[in-house]
Structures are given as structure tokens and as C-alpha cells.
């Protein structure tokens, strides 16, 4: 196929944002809303078409596009496999939802907000499509600019502190990755991922390079102890910002671990597994305990994100099919469910101006539809069978039990703790007595809010009962990663 569908999907939102930039006058948002909705939905349609024409039985990368970029050094190479396609679909699916939620709740400077979100979509999809490390880095870092502005302009009271923390933490993590990428270029002679995959990086370099990539991904995941930027960023970001942050930006790191750390440094990955396991377990247990004590709903969900991402990193480094498929599933499910939870908090925040748990109570009496949906997502987040959350956690734990009983048992406590803080929050917010008069005057969710929440709810439940489409899509690629990993390790053993 000659049509450059990946480039189209990447640059269509950018084009849309350019149109908004050129077409809007002051205080006139109508055209901005239509253009952004149109581009994001068109992009969603294109990604569905991409998914439909994606060959699930093909080993390696598909839809490869290659253009000369920096002459003699680097090619602009794009391509997807069973892992990246799912993230692309997720990104294209979450973006229109964000845009709708902006339209519902954003009050000031809406058209600029929409521009920022569309530009961010370009960069996020670019991350998942790029097959060259430099291009990956380019998109990975570029996402910082719009996100910095989203937090800083439309954020809450401590927005400036949070925006800085977000920007500088992530930048500090990723400059080391840039150094590592350039080093790879000079040792291997290319930054083309498919070539590196074949040529193999010498063992003695792998450890340091792995750590350099780790510094970037660990901050972005975020892993304990560098997770502290996430609660701040989430609390201060506007609803749509939190949704994008939780649903997609965090997944870039998981994707990075899976694709680059495992793919390029198999020996170092094996070597550092205990480190990852320890940090993941600490993240799961510690942040769950911290989440128990939160007063702010957004902060609670943010800490639960750290715990959920702990499961993801744990699963990736089990190096078996269940673990990796579980982490993939967990990432997608977290993308949907945490996005929905942030939207739910946004619904309450828009109406009352508060996110504190103690200012709510008995919401179910006045907002029955909202409460139903909210409870479904709470149950999804704690991994109730029948939602996507269950399949992810279950597979990860299955994979972990194959490797190490202790790790698996410790991780399982996270499931219990997660149930504790989520249900406790639900109890205090949704049920109980209404001790705040404002609650009694609230209106239930309107049509637009209902639509986006129900769509998310349906997706979560459908894939919860019938995960086959997702698992089928990633199956070959996951097998490939595991196969490659084992080949590498046996090669080392034979050498010894």
C-alpha cells in the first residue's frame, strides 16, 4: 500500500490545529470546536481503518514509511506492529473524548486549549509510530511543550509549581536517553530500530544504556521514587489534561520499556529485573497506602495510577506471555478506566468547584445516573471480573507467579489495597448521608457527559468480557519479543 496512512494519522491533528489557529477570532469558539471535533473523529476513523487493515499474522513491522530526513545520518522511518497499533487506537479514541470534555467544562481560552490538545495528539501518535530512536525522542520530548501549557494555563491554584515539576522532571530523565541514543548511533552505526534489533548491542554497553533509557521511562511511568510529579500534575491539571496524562502520556513509558528496553537490551533487562521488581512492588504497596489517606479525589486516582503502572512494569519484566500481555492489557484498561474516573471527578468539580472527598456524600440520591457510572468505573479500577481491569491484573499476576512467588504474593496485596481505597472513596462520595447542602441542588449528568462516559463504560465492559480482539492483535508481536529475548539469553549461555 502506497498511501502514507501513518503520516496522515500523525499530522492530521497538527493540520487541524493550524486551521483553528488561522480561523478563530477572539471569543469565537464555534469554528474551533467543529474543526477540532472533525479532525479528531476523522483521525479516529482513520485509525480504525488502520486497525482493520492491519495484518494480525504478520511478523515484524507493517505500513513502513521511510523518507530521507537528516541526509546521511537518519531516516524518518515509521511503522507499526501489534503493540503500537493498540496505543495508536487508544490515543485516537481518547482525544475526541478529551475534546468533548473540554467543550463541556473549559471556560477560558477554549480554542487555544483545543489547539494544544490536537498538537499533543500528533506528538503522542508519533511516539507510537516511530521506528527510529531519534524520531521517537523527538516526539517523546515534544509532548512536554503542550502539556506544560495545559497544566500551566488551565490548571488549579498550584499550577505553576506543578507545571515546572512536570517539565523539569521529565526533561531531566530524558536528556540521558538522548545521550544514550547518540551513543548507540556511534557504536552500532544506526538508530533505526529494526536494524539495531538485528545487529545487537554489545553486552558491555547494554547496562549503562539500559540505565539511561530507564531514567527517562521511570520518570515518565512514573515509578517509585520519582513518581512525585504525577500527583501534583494530576491535581492541578484541568480535567482533559489529567485524562490525557493518565490515559496516554504514562503509556509512552510502558511502551518504551516494552519496545526499547526489552528489544534492544535483553541482557541488561534480565540483569536489572530485580530492581524493576523491587521498585514495582514498592510502588504498588506504598502508593496504595498513600492513596488510602488522600482527601482529594484526583490525588487518590493519581496515586492509584502509580500503583497500576507498578503492575505494568512488573508484568513487562516477567518476560513471559501472560505477564507481557497482561501489562499491555493493563495499560489499555488503565487508559480507559482512569480517564473515565478523571472525567467523573471533573463532572463533580464542574458542579461544585471541589474535589475533596469530605465535601461530598450521598451523591447517589441526587445524581443517580452519574453514581451508577462512577461505581462501574470504581469497580473497573479495582479489577472486578467483567471489566478490562480484571484481565490485566489477572494476567500480570499469572505471569508473576510463574517467575517468583514472593513478588506475586506481594503484588497481590496491591489488589486488595486497591479495592480498599477505591471502595472507601466510593462509599464516602457516593453513598452515606448528604452533609453538604450544595449536593442536593446538583443536576445529573447531561447528554454530552453521559455519552462520553457511557462510551468508555461500554468499551471497558465489552473488552472485559471479550478480550480476544486486543489479545489477537498483540499476540504475534508479544511472541516475537519473548522469542527474541530467549534467543539472546541462550546465545549468551552458549558463549559461556
Partner 1 sequence: MENINSIIPEIALFFGICLTLMVGVFFKNSFSLVMKLTILVLLGVIYLILIDWGGEQKIFLDSFKNDKFSDYFKILILVSSIFIFISSNEFIKDKKLSKFEYPIIIMFSILGMFFMLSANDLILFYLGLELQSLALYVLASFDRDNIISSEAGIKYFVLSALSSGLLLYGCSLLYGFTGSTNFNEIGTNLITQNTGAIFAMVFILVGLAFKVSAVPFHMWTPDVYQGAPTSITNFFAVVPKAVGLAVFIRFMDLPFKNIIEEWQMIIIFISIASMILGSVAAIGQKNIKRLLAYSSISHMGYALAGVATGTISGYTSTIIYITIYIIMNMGTFACLYLMKTDGKYTEKIEDLSGLSKERPMFAFSFLILFFSLAGIPPLGGFFAKFFVFMSVIESEMYALAVIGLLTTVISAFYYLKVIKIIYFDDNKIKFDDVRNLSIKATILLSCLFLSLYFISPSIIGSLLNGLFI
Residue ranges that bind partner 1, judged by CB under 8 A = 69-73, 109, 112, 134, 137-139, 141-142, 144-145, 148-149, 152-153, 159-160, 163-164, 167-168, 171-172, 175-176, 178-179, 182-183, 185-186
Partners of 192 in the β-ladder: 132
Pick between residue 137 and residue 349 the one whose CB is nearest to partner 1. Answer: 137
Pick between residue 71 and residue 433 the one whose CB is nearest to partner 1. Answer: 71
Pick between residue 74 and residue 471 the one whose CB is nearest to partner 1. Answer: 74
Distance CA 86, CA 467 (A): 13
Pick between residue 91 and residue 327 the one whose CB is nearest to partner 1. Answer: 91
Supply the minimum distance, in Å, between the C-beta of residue 307 and partner 1. 28
Supply the minimum distance, in Å, between the C-beta of residue 185 and partner 1. 7
Burial of 107 (0-12, 13-18, 19+ CB in 10 A): exposed
Partners of 75 in the β-ladder: 68
Pick between residue 159 and residue 334 the one whose CB is nearest to partner 1. Answer: 159
Pick between residue 69 and residue 465 the one whose CB is nearest to partner 1. Answer: 69
Distance CA 61, CA 433 (A): 56
Supply the minimum distance, in Å, between the C-beta of residue 108 and partner 1. 9
Read off φ and ψ for residue 297, nearest 5 degrees.
Answer: -65, -40
Supply the minimum distance, in Å, between the C-beta of residue 74 and partner 1. 8
Supply the minimum distance, in Å, between the C-beta of residue 15 and partner 1. 14
| SS (HEC) of the chain | CCCCHHHHHHHHHHHHHHHHHHHCCCCCCHHHHHHHHHHHHHHHHHHHHHHHHCCCCCCCCEEEEEEEEECCCEEEEEEECHHHHHHHHHHHHHHHHHHHHHHHHCCCCHHHHHHHHHHHHHHHHHHHHECEHHHHHHHHHHCHHHHHHHHHHHCCCCHHHHHHHHHHHHHHHHHHHHHHHHHHHHHHCCCEHHHHHHHCCCHHHHHHHHHHHHHHHHHHCCCCCCCCHHHHHHHHCCHHHHHHHHHHHHHHHHHHHHHHHHHHCHHHHHHCHHHHHHHHHHHHHHHHHHHHCCCEHHHHHHHHHHHHHHHHHHHHCCCCHHHHHHHHHHHHHHHHHHHHHHHHHHHHHHHHCCCEHHHCCCHHHHCHHHHHHHHHHHHHHCCCECEHHHHHHHHHHHHHHHHCHHHHHHHHHHHHHHHHHHHHHHHHHHCCCCCCHHHHCCCCCCHHHHHHHHHHHHHHHHHHHCCHHHHHHHHHHHHHHHHHHHHHHHHHHHHC
Pick between residue 171 and residue 282 the one whose CB is nearest to partner 1. Answer: 171
Pick between residue 179 and residue 416 the one whose CB is nearest to partner 1. Answer: 179
Pick between residue 73 and residue 438 the one whose CB is nearest to partner 1. Answer: 73
Distance CA 473, CA 332 (A): 13
For residue 143, CA distances in Å to 88, 122, 140, 170, 214 come to 15, 9, 6, 10, 19
**Is the bond preceding residue 485 a cis peptide, omega within 30 degrees?**
no
Pick between residue 147 and residue 314 the one whose CB is nearest to partner 1. Answer: 147
Pick between residue 211 and residue 454 the one whose CB is nearest to partner 1. Answer: 211
Supply the minimum distance, in Å, between the C-beta of residue 218 and partner 1. 16
Burial of 293 (0-12, 13-18, 19+ CB in 10 A): exposed
Supply the minimum distance, in Å, between the C-beta of residue 152 and partner 1. 5
Supply the minimum distance, in Å, between the C-beta of residue 175 and partner 1. 4
Supply the minimum distance, in Å, between the C-beta of residue 50 and partner 1. 23
Supply the minimum distance, in Å, between the C-beta of residue 192 and partner 1. 16
Pick between residue 166 and residue 319 the one whose CB is nearest to partner 1. Answer: 166
Supply the minimum distance, in Å, between the C-beta of residue 435 and partner 1. 35
Pick between residue 229 and residue 303 the one whose CB is nearest to partner 1. Answer: 229
Supply the minimum distance, in Å, between the C-beta of residue 150 and partner 1. 11
Supply the minimum distance, in Å, between the C-beta of residue 140 and partner 1. 8
Amino acid at each position: 500500500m502506497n498511501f502514507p496512512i501513518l503520516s496522515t494519522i500523525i499530522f492530521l491533528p497538527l493540520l487541524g490545529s493550524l486551521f483553528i489557529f488561522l480561523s478563530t477570532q477572539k471569543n469565537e469558539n464555534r469554528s474551533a470546536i467543529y474543526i477540532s471535533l472533525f479532525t479528531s473523529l476523522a483521525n479516529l476513523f482513520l485509525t480504525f481503518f488502520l486497525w482493520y487493515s492491519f495484518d494480525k499474522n504478520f511478523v515484524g513491522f507493517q505500513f513502513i514509511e521511510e523518507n530521507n530526513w537528516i541526509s546521511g545520518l537518519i531516516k524518518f522511518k515509521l511503522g507499526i506492529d501489534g503493540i503500537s497499533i493498540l496505543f495508536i487506537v487508544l490515543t485516537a479514541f481518547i482525544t475526541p473524548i478529551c475534546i468533548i470534555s473540554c467543550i463541556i467544562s473549559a471556560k477560558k481560552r477554549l480554542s487555544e486549549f483545543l489547539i494544544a490538545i490536537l498538537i499533543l495528539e500528533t506528538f503522542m501518535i508519533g511516539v507510537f509510530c516511530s521506528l527510529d530512536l531519534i524520531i521517537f525522542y523527538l516526539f517523546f520530548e515534544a509532548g512536554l511543550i503542550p502539556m506544560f501549557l495545559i497544566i500551566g494555563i488551565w490548571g488549579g491554584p498550584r499550577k505553576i509549581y506543578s507545571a515546572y515539576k512536570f517539565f523539569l522532571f521529565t526533561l531531566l530523565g530524558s536528556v540521558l536517553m538522548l545521550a544514550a541514543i547518540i551513543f548507540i548511533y556511534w557504536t552500532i552505526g544506526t538508530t533505526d530500530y529494526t536494524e539495531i534489533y538485528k545487529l545487537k548491542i554489545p553486552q558491555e554497553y547494554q547496562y549503562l544504556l539500559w540505565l539511561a533509557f530507564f531514567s527517562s521511562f521511570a520518570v515518565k511511568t512514573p515509578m517509585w521514587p520519582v513518581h512525585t510529579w504525577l500527583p501534583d500534575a494530576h491535581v492541578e491539571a484541568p480535567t482533559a489534561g489529567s485524562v490525557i496524562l493518565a490515559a496516554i502520556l504514562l503509556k509512552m513509558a510502558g511502551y518504551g520499556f516494552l519496545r526499547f528496553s526489552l528489544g534492544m537490551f535483553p541482557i541488561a533487562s534480565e540483569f536489572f529485573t530485580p530492581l524493576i521488581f523491587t521498585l514495582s512492588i514498592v510502588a504498588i504497596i506504598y502508593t496504595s497506602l498513600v492513596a488510602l489517606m488522600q482527601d482529594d479525589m484526583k490525588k487518590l486516582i493519581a496515586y492509584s495510577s502509580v500503583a497500576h503502572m507498578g503492575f505494568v512494569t512488573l508484568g513487562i519484566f516477567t518476560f513471559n506471555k501472560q505477564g507481557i500481555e497482561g501489562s499491555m492489557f493493563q495499560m489499555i484498561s488503565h487508559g480507559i478506566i482512569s480517564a473515565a474516573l478523571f472525567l467523573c471527578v471533573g463532572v463533580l468539580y464542574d458542579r461544585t468547584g471541589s474535589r475533596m472527598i469530605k465535601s461530598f456524600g450521598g451523591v447517589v440520591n441526587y445524581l443517580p445516573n452519574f453514581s451508577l457510572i462512577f461505581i462501574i468505573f470504581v469497580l473497573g479500577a479495582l479489577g472486578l471480573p467483567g471489566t478490562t481491569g480484571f484481565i490485566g491484573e489477572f494476567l500480570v499476576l499469572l505471569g508473576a507467579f510463574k517467575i517468583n512467588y514472593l513478588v506475586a504474593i506481594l503484588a497481590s496485596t496491591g489488589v486488595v489495597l486497591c479495592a480498599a481505597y477505591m471502595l472507601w472513596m466510593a462509599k464516602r462520595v457516593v453513598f452515606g448521608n448528604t452533609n453538604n447542602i450544595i449536593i442536593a441542588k446538583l443536576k445529573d449528568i447531561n447528554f454530552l457527559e453521559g455519552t462520553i462516559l457511557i462510551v468508555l463504560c461500554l468499551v471497558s465492559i465489552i473488552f472485559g468480557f471479550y478480550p480476544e480482539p486486543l489479545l489477537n492483535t498483540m499476540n504475534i508481536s508479544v511472541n516475537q519479543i519473548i522469542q527474541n529475548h530467549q534467543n539472546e539469553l541462550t546465545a549468551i549461555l552458549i558463549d559461556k
